[in-house]
Amino acid sequence: MSGPALACLDGIEAPAGLAGDLACFGALPRSARDAFSPVLDVVLAEVMPPGAETRLASLAEEIKADSLAVTRAAMAFRLLLRGAARTDLSLERLEVDVRAVAPDSADAVLELVCRVFEPVKARIQSELLTRTVKDHGKVLADFEWRLDTITASSHGRGFRLPMVTLTLKYEENGRGEAITLHVLPTMLKKLKATLSRLVD
């Protein structure tokens, strides 16, 4: 039997096991449910960290709960919260999804969801925004500068030209790169004026 269509999944039907996974959370002791936030920290990133399974087992032991139940519940929360962040869902609309897919355990699930929703949503959306920018080219990561004065060259002597050497460090396709530019005073003033307008 197919599950209800969920807004947090862009209208896709709930996976078959989601109700059972959320029921695992509802069946945990109250003390374990209250201490569940560190479990979410392990599973909410797009790519879960190495050793996540071991860490989940360790946390389950700490909160005195069954390891399999904790893992199933954690992955259900991951699906709901990441989906809500990706679709910019409100807490109220996510509540509708939870009550539709797991009515019997919804109160317990929503108690935790309400506690973590805003910071978790902001964190995941920040991650998604960073990915969105990085998917489309070079992203400035840092810069270094040096101020020199040019006094002579093969073209002549007697110069007194201040010159900024600017090294821009950027990321592209997961790799760090850098480019070094020499910036004339006129361009430096133009850059300063533009940045002032953008920042203000």
Find, among 76, 18, 78, 72, the residue nearest to 47 by Cα.
78
The domain in which residue 64 lies consists of: 7-134
Partners of residue 71 on adjacent β-strands: none
Each residue's pLDDT tens digit, 22-75: 999 999 999 999 999 999 999 999 888 899 999 999 999 999 999 999 999 999
Q: Hunting for tokens 């790519």 — which residue is that? A: 47
- Residues 106/98, Cβ–Cβ less than 8 Å: yes
Residue 49: what pLDDT? Answer: 87
Please tell me whether residues 188 and 111 are part of one structural domain: no
Each residue's pLDDT tens digit, 65-100: 999 999 999 999 999 999 999 999 999 999 999 999
Calculate what percentage of the chain has a pLDDT beyond 90: 81
Q: What single DSSP character describes residue 2? A: -
Residue 1 in any domain: the answer is no
Each residue's pLDDT tens digit, 116-164: 999 999 999 999 988 888 777 888 889 999 999 999 999 999 999 999 9
Sheet order of strands, 156-172 included: 139-153, 156-172, 175-183
Q: What is the domain count for the chain? A: 2
Please tell me whether residues 28 and 87 are part of one structural domain: yes
Last residue of a domain, one of 81, 100, 134: 134
Residue 95: what pLDDT? Answer: 97
Please tell me whether residues 117 and 149 are part of one structural domain: no
Please tell me whether residues 82 and 151 are part of one structural domain: no
Last residue of a domain, one of 92, 110, 134: 134
Please tell me whether residues 111 and 180 are part of one structural domain: no
Please tell me whether residues 37 and 63 are part of one structural domain: yes
1 vs 54, residue with greater confidence: 54
Residue 2 in any domain: the answer is no
Q: What 3-state DSSP class applies to 151?
A: strand
pTM of the shown model: 0.73
* Rounded Cα–Cα distance for residues 104 and 80 (Å): 17
